[in-house]
Structure 1
Amino acid sequence: MTTFQKPIDSPFGATSTADDVIRGIDLKGKTVLVTGGYSGLGLDAVRVLHGAGAKIIVPARDLAKARNNLALFPDITIDVMDLMDPASVNNFAERFLAANTQLDILINCAGVMAAPLSRDSRGNESQFSTNVLGHFQLTCRLWPALIAATGARVVALSSANHHVETTELLHDPNFRHREYDPWKAYAQSKAACALFAVALDSIGKRHGVRAFSVHPGGIYETGLLRHTPDSLPASFGMIDGEGKPVIDPEKTGFKTVRQGSSTIVWAATSPLLEGKGGVYCADNNIGSQLREGDERTLTGVALNATDPVNAGRLWHLSEELTGSRLD
């Protein structure tokens, strides 16, 4: 159960960068895996975690793109993995476990947003498959390495856009019985990521594994908008009349890539989170718990996205849909 879902006294905030939050943290001897670690927020997180001395592994669906984007880091291990392909996830995990005895930090950063309806080989809707089920299966398969580490952490990427009816998420996550809405599918996948962290933390804390979900902010300069209309960034106020990104972390939540990656890195490494877990983080702090009827905020998390009963139900559903369990 999430008992720590309230802000703490963090020295960092909405304008802090990943370079700020990693300062003074030594990751030598630590092994870090970042899905999506070759573009956008994941790439910037890899940059600073590598700079802190960590051994980095980046699974990639597009090997050529990953090798090009990570060319400045020749010691980073790049290996093929497609989150929508269960066999690919299993094969990657087998190779990882054969080469590594422990995994200190797992950052489930890869994701897709507002994609048109498509399904994986099991029939799961693509956003739920990529953002939720693929990462669930990967985490389960890497569990032996996580519990072998001392104080391992798992970070799941959520979003402020996580406000959905949990009943629909739990009973029809793949839009079999309702009209498909790409934005609703995205929102429910991000609510699921927050619930994943709650459930994983409740299981993992007895093994020293803690889990966190993160809202990084709104970032224009990533590939996440590739499925959205060209007019969307301007209509949302993410870019100005000249097409330049609007950066206003404190009022609108729109951030640079380095500001956006900061909460990911903070959740993965901050000593302020020792002994805590299962919480939703934003702006380099633990987010506030929104109660029913509360106005939505940039850093608040909906009650049904941190509810342990919902988290347990989603965990069991994920087990059924993937056939994966923690060993």
Structure 2
Amino acid sequence: MKTEQKPLMSGFGPETTAQEVVAGQDLTGKLAIVTGGHGGIGLETTRALVEAGATVIVGARDTKKAHEVLKQLKNVEVIRLDLADPSSINQFSSVFQNSNRALDLLILNAGVSFPPTIKDERGFDTHFATNYLGHFQLTNKLWEPLKRAGNARVVALSSIGHIAGPIDFDDLHFNMRTYDKVVSYGESKTACSLFAIELDKRGREYGVRAFAVHPGAILSGLARHLSNEDLAGWGVIRNEDGTYRSSGGFKSTEQGAATSVWCAVSPILKGKGGVYCEDGDIAEVVSADSPLQRGVRSWAIDSASAERLWTISEDLLHIPVGTIPRVHN
């Protein structure tokens, strides 16, 4: 049954932390993969899941750094993963599959924002390739372990950045359009949301449910490529030591991880999926011209666009059609 895109009145909100979400829950025996789970909201996601009893595998491009950051946490494994490199994704997936374990939770957390290189070696837009296509490939490669769990959840990090507009399917990689970093980032996050919509439709009969998440505005390492002028436009100042200070409106990393964790473990989401979530609840749909920095715009949850994007993605990545089977209405 399709889940309605409207709040459940979960009792959580913008100030809820990931620790508060898992309070009282026992995740012993659950296995999770968190991409980029060693920094920012990914680290807080890993921490919350581990402290509730789960085992977490962190996919990290810099494994040395990941081991150092995570050394105080129990039941954490690190496997190298570079989402911009298809061969790295295949290697990560092979290493995991060789362990013959079921995968209960897949949290697609890692990403880039406003990187210095706007296209990768394939000529793909870097935002689109890393934030979306890398995770699309990873999920397809992990489909069998997800099915094996029997009750798996996939959480894809989207963003309020999706308000930049719908995806331009005729020019995904800015070959014809003038490059705009905000539009590029926004379209990659719209893609992440559409991915969750289509994955949920395909996965529900196998017990695999999917959710898109806006974590909230967080001052993290993702802002490192922004100029001081860009940051000033958001009321943010970069300190000499690389930290930030702002006039307010930003979440802590603990608060930023809350909705990802809520989608991954909340009992009230049992039997639900295919929705865009924020502030520890399902988000409301708002109009395309809404000035609000919350809610989801219709193009990020459009089922026809989601199916179209899936087909294009299989073609771009040379993934056999139907690796994750299509649902025929």
Pick the TM interval, shorter chain: over 0.9
For residues 131-173 of structure 1, the C-alpha deviation after alignment (integer angstroms, 9 at most, x for no partner) is: 00000000000000001003100000111110244351x2211
2:292 maps to which residue? 297
1:22 maps to which residue? 22
> Could you tell me how far apart the structure 2 residues matched to 1:314 and 1:159 are?
18
Residues 1-327 of structure 1: pairs in structure 2 closer than 5 A:
3-73=3-73, 75-168=75-168, 170-220=169-219, 222-238=220-236, 245-246=245-246, 248=248, 252=249, 254-293=250-289, 295-325=290-320, 326-327=323-324
SS at match of 1:316: helix
CA contact (8 A) 2:159 2:215 kept: yes
CA contact (8 A) 2:228 2:238 kept: no
Structure 1 position 179, deviation (Å) = 1.4
Q: TM-score, normalised by structure 1?
A: 0.93
CA contact (8 A) 2:21 2:261 kept: yes
Code of the residue aligned with 2:268 in structure 1: it is: L
Cα 1:59–1:236 change in 2 (3 A) is same
Q: How many residues align?
A: 320
> Could you tell me how far apart the structure 2 residues matched to 1:60 and 1:244 are?
24
Code of the residue aligned with 1:297 in structure 2: it is: L
For residues 195-228 of structure 1, the C-alpha deviation after alignment (integer angstroms, 9 at most, x for no partner) is: 00001000000111000011011111x2100110
> Could you tell me how far apart the structure 2 residues matched to 1:135 and 1:87 are?
13
In the alignment, structure 1 segments of 5+ residues that lack a partner are none
CA contact (8 A) 2:211 2:263 kept: yes
> Could you tell me how far apart the structure 1 residues matched to 2:144 and 2:74 are?
27
> Could you tell me how far apart the structure 2 residues matched to 1:95 and 1:244 are?
38
CA contact (8 A) 2:213 2:260 kept: yes
Code of the residue aligned with 1:227 in structure 2: it is: H
> Could you tell me how far apart the structure 2 residues matched to 1:160 and 1:264 are?
14
Code of the residue aligned with 2:196 in structure 1: it is: A
Structure 1 position 237, deviation (Å) = 2.0
Q: CA RMSD in A?
A: 2.0
Structure 1 position 292, deviation (Å) = 4.1
Structure 1 position 181, deviation (Å) = 1.3
Identical counterparts, % of pairs = 45
In the alignment, structure 2 segments of 5+ residues that lack a partner are 325-329
> Could you tell me how far apart the structure 2 residues matched to 1:244 and 1:218 are?
13
> Could you tell me how far apart the structure 2 residues matched to 1:80 and 1:111 are?
15
CA contact (8 A) 1:155 1:214 kept: yes
> Could you tell me how far apart the structure 2 residues matched to 1:76 and 1:127 are?
28
> Could you tell me how far apart the structure 2 residues matched to 1:281 and 1:137 are?
23
Structure 1 position 184, deviation (Å) = 1.0
CA contact (8 A) 1:2 1:198 kept: no
> Could you tell me how far apart the structure 2 residues matched to 1:93 and 1:264 are?
22
Code of the residue aligned with 2:163 in structure 1: it is: H
Structure 1, 111-120 or 94-103: larger mean CA deviation: 111-120
> Could you tell me how far apart the structure 2 residues matched to 1:84 and 1:40 are?
19
SS at match of 1:82: coil
CA contact (8 A) 1:102 1:149 kept: yes
> Could you tell me how far apart the structure 2 residues matched to 1:303 and 1:162 are?
10
> Could you tell me how far apart the structure 2 residues matched to 1:241 and 1:139 are?
38
Structure 1 position 119, deviation (Å) = 2.6
> Could you tell me how far apart the structure 1 residues matched to 2:158 and 2:165 are?
16
Structure 1 position 76, deviation (Å) = 1.2
Structure 1 position 236, deviation (Å) = 0.6
> Could you tell me how far apart the structure 1 residues matched to 2:88 and 2:252 are?
32
Structure 1, 146-155 or 66-75: larger mean CA deviation: 66-75
CA contact (8 A) 1:2 1:279 kept: no
Cα 1:16–1:167 change in 2 (3 A) is closer
Code of the residue aligned with 2:300 in structure 1: it is: A
SS at match of 1:83: coil
